[in-house]
Amino acid sequence: MRVIWLLVGLLSVAMAVVGAFLPLLPTVPFLLLAAICFSKSSDRLHVWLIQHGRLGPPIKAWQNSGSISLPAKWMASLSVLAAIGISLLLGLSWRILLIQAIALVCVMAFIWTRPSE
């Protein structure tokens, strides 16, 4: 089972790194998943992730206070706008746009109701 936790953790870190460069892929949720997976599979990787200069601070902020930094909230908002804009440009059906809008409004409500660092 430890191997599965380790593989999911490594995949999550990879997805988080990709998400740092792609606006539609979230970074922090993948980092949080990686932290959980590493805590169950590898103490060394868990410590590395938590103490990493770029990847560790959002994990610590979430663990300590459930907070999301203001820049991260704004980046999430811009990503949501980009997703909706791309969907409109692609001419997706109104049903798909409605489902997408409902899901994204729920996500943004969650993000913006969390405390800021």
Span 74-103, average pLDDT: 92
Task: Write down the residue that tokens 């980009």 correspond to.
Answer: 82
Q: Return the pLDDT at 28.
A: 86
Each residue of 9-57: pLDDT tens digit? 999 999 999 988 876 778 888 999 999 999 999 999 999 999 999 889 9
Q: What is the pLDDT of residue 27?
A: 86
Model pLDDT, residue 72? 87
Q: Letter for the amino acid at 16?
A: A
Among candidate residues 95, 67, 100, 94, the one with its CA nearest the CA of residue 81: 100
Read off the pLDDT of each residue in 74-90 and give the average, rounded to a whole number: 91
What pLDDT does 79 receive?
86
Whole-number pLDDT of residue 96: 94
pTM score of the predicted model: 0.77
> Rounded to an integer, what distance in angstroms lies between the CA atom of residue 110 and that of residue 100?
15
Q: How far apart are CA 26 and CA 76, in angstroms?
A: 8
